[in-house]
A and B are shown apart, each in its own frame.
Chain A
Amino acid sequence: MTIPFGHALAFAAALFVLGLSCVLLRRQIMMILIGVEIMLNAASLVFVAASAYWRQVDGQIFVMLLMAITAAEVAVALAMVVYLWRRKRTLVADEFNGMRG
């Protein structure tokens, strides 16, 4: 029983919009990063669905690589978060507005 392709797409789209709104609405850096992760997972979902629909393995390989890249990105992001916490003792994104105009 394969799930129709449209449903998977719709679900992934919903997931993507969820991630995006999490990025836009939350003020903590950590929550923004989590939002980004949700968006990436939505993309992986579409890949898997498409790979199933097209009966090709490209999508899944892409998902593997996507996970690797996401891991690298999260590593760097968390290092940055730790570094920022040690500097400013706050993780609210809008605190960092030293430069403007």
Chain B
Amino acid sequence: MSLLDLLALLPILILAFGGTAILMAGAWYREPRPLLAGGVATALIAAVAAGMVQPPTAEIAGLFSAGGYARFFTILWALLAAAGLMVAARYIMEKGLGAGEYVSLVLYAAAGMALLSSAIHLLGFFLALETFTLAFYILIASNRRCALAAEAGLKYLLMGAVATGFMAFGIALIYAVSGTLALPDAARLTTTAGELLPWGLLGWGMVLIAVGFKISLAPFHLWTPDVYQGAPAPVGGLLATGSKGAVVAALVGLLAMSGPVWHDLTDLLWLLAALTMLAGSLGALGQKNLKRLLAYSSVTHMGTLLVGLLCQSSEGLAATTFYVVVYVLTSLGAFAVIASLADERGEPMAFDEWRGLGHRHPVRCAVLVLVLLSLAGLPGTAGFMAKFAVFQAALQSGYLGLVLVGVFASVVSFAFYLRVTMLLFQSEEPASPRHAGTASEHAVLAACTAAILVFGLFPGILFDLISRILP
């Protein structure tokens, strides 16, 4: 770890040490406002550092790359952390949580995500994954007064622990078969082919199970609705966007570096993708709670992302990256709306708490409608361009079957999203008005809306950026 490596790792160091500093400060100085401001500042500085500072070396100690791709996602996760903190500000102050602890945990999570996105070594992959998972274990259960939060925390913890078990055993098998942990060669498994190959594939299978838990693929997604419902909205926002986005970013990075290496895994991935899309969309159809609906919708989106990964073509990877960025922005918007409406009676979750809110809070409900329509894939919004790109890539690689499943899932998702939008603007027995929301929340909402519309109508900007950074 020479000085140059440290310099290359600068943004993540800023996040980590910033978090520690705020944690220490929080011990003496309980006043939440400055701590939050400090947290947001740290995140922004890290983002600027990632953007400005040209890393001297391409790789950091063989574990993480510092290339354009990694820095792009470092910026994204840093901005996400900043937005998450801005959304959580009012929540922390009202619930009287330890501002220092919350902010530092979020910053550690951001650091973990940035590391994961730039991991080029299984060890780095494993370390980064565990760092932000641990941070989330605590963040989810942070609201001591709410019983459901504890339950959600427990579920996430136990499932996470089992997943870590699978991940570790998987990596071990890969290491046993390929003799190396560096990702491109480990993935290729060509060096020691012969009779041990299936065991290597089993190793990758088990890593896939752990990844499946993390980005809630079909059979491993059952925890998602409960955790999203239990976790407070700001944490749910980070969980839905950051943790999933980072893992997918890592997989994209892996595939981008090593080329089409997963041809043995394709039929397994095909099955998982189809199952996920169906489970997500059908699950959401019967929901009566908005956060659970968002959870299932995130499952569907992960299925579509898997379709993008499956294509293993440069088109597919660019489409998946675009999809991840758009998905992160839209989901954040959705949870930000829920957080901004939360008041002393808690967050509006069940449908009859949302009935007719459109008349009381027209602007924010309009944003929510735009977000939902973007999640559904209405043309004109970023969601459509993302889905269009993935479908185009999938068709190019000949996965017509998956595209048709995707079409069915999209139609079903339009159904339940539109049912929510109708609910919002229902005029008979409307629900009581909610909190007016603070400036910081409105800023985040404005940013998300702008992103959805800009990337929807002028996606060229993001596409060019992605094609430049993808190796």
Is the CB of A14 closer than 8 A to any CB of chain B?
no
Is the CB of B173 closer than 8 A to any CB of chain A?
yes
Is the CB of B147 closer than 8 A to any CB of chain A?
yes
Docked-complex contact A99 and B229, CB < 8 angstroms: yes
Q: Which residues of A contact B181 (CB under 8 A)?
A: 58, 62
Q: Tell me the bound Cα distance from A54 to B186 in angstroms.
A: 14
Docked-complex contact B230 and A99, CB < 8 angstroms: yes
Q: Which residues of A contact B225 (CB under 8 A)?
A: 99, 101
Q: Tell me the bound Cα distance from A72 to B154 in angstroms.
A: 16
- For A36-48 the 0/1 string (1 means CB < 8 A from B) is 1001101110110
Which of B169-225 touch A at CB < 8 Å?
A: 169, 171-173, 175-176, 179-181, 199, 225
- On whether A76 and B123 interact (CB within 8 A), knowing A36-B161, A42-B169, A99-B225, the answer reads no
Q: Which residues of B contact A20 (CB under 8 A)?
A: 165
Is the CB of B395 closer than 8 A to any CB of chain A?
no
Q: Which residues of B contact A66 (CB under 8 A)?
A: 126, 168
Q: Tell me the bound Cα distance from A101 to B153 in angstroms.
A: 18
Q: Tell me the bound Cα distance from A39 to B164 in angstroms.
A: 9
Which of B116-154 touch A at CB < 8 Å?
A: 123, 126-127, 130, 134, 137-138, 141, 147-148, 150-154
Q: Which residues of A contact B179 (CB under 8 A)?
A: 50, 54, 56
- For B402-439 the 0/1 string (1 means CB < 8 A from A) is 00000000000000000000000000000000000000
- On whether A46 and B164 interact (CB within 8 A), knowing A58-B180, A65-B127, A87-B147, the answer reads no
Q: Tell me the bound Cα distance from A77 to B137 in angstroms.
A: 9
Docked-complex contact B153 and A80, CB < 8 angstroms: yes
Docked-complex contact A43 and B130, CB < 8 angstroms: no
- For A44-79 the 0/1 string (1 means CB < 8 A from B) is 101101110110101101100110010011001100
Q: Contacting A39 at CB < 8 Å: which of B157, B169, B176, B229?
A: B169
Which of B86-114 touch A at CB < 8 Å?
A: none
Q: Which residues of A contact B157 (CB under 8 A)?
A: 76-77, 80
Docked-complex contact B155 and A96, CB < 8 angstroms: yes
Minimum distance in angstroms from B278 CB to a CB of chain A: 18
Docked-complex contact B127 and A72, CB < 8 angstroms: no
Q: Tell me the bound Cα distance from A58 to B157 in angstroms.
A: 28
Q: Which residue of chain B lies nearest to A50 when distances are taken between CB atoms in the complex?
A: B176
Q: Tell me the bound Cα distance from A80 to B148 in angstroms.
A: 13
Q: Which residues of B contact A99 (CB under 8 A)?
A: 148, 151-152, 225-226, 229-230
Q: Which residue of chain B lies nearest to A62 when distances are taken between CB atoms in the complex?
A: B123
Q: Which residues of A contact B168 (CB under 8 A)?
A: 39-40, 43-44, 66
25 A-B contact pairs sorted by A residue (CB < 8 Å): A23-B165, A33-B161, A36-B164, A43-B165, A43-B169, A43-B171, A46-B173, A46-B175, A49-B176, A50-B179, A51-B175, A59-B172, A62-B175, A72-B130, A73-B161, A76-B137, A76-B138, A76-B157, A80-B153, A80-B154, A84-B150, A93-B154, A96-B151, A99-B229, A101-B287
A binding-site residues for B, Cβ under 8 Å: 5, 9, 12, 16, 19-20, 23, 29, 32-33, 36, 39-40, 42-44, 46-47, 49-51, 53-54, 56, 58-59, 61-62, 65-66, 69, 72-73, 76-77, 80, 83-84, 87, 93, 96-101
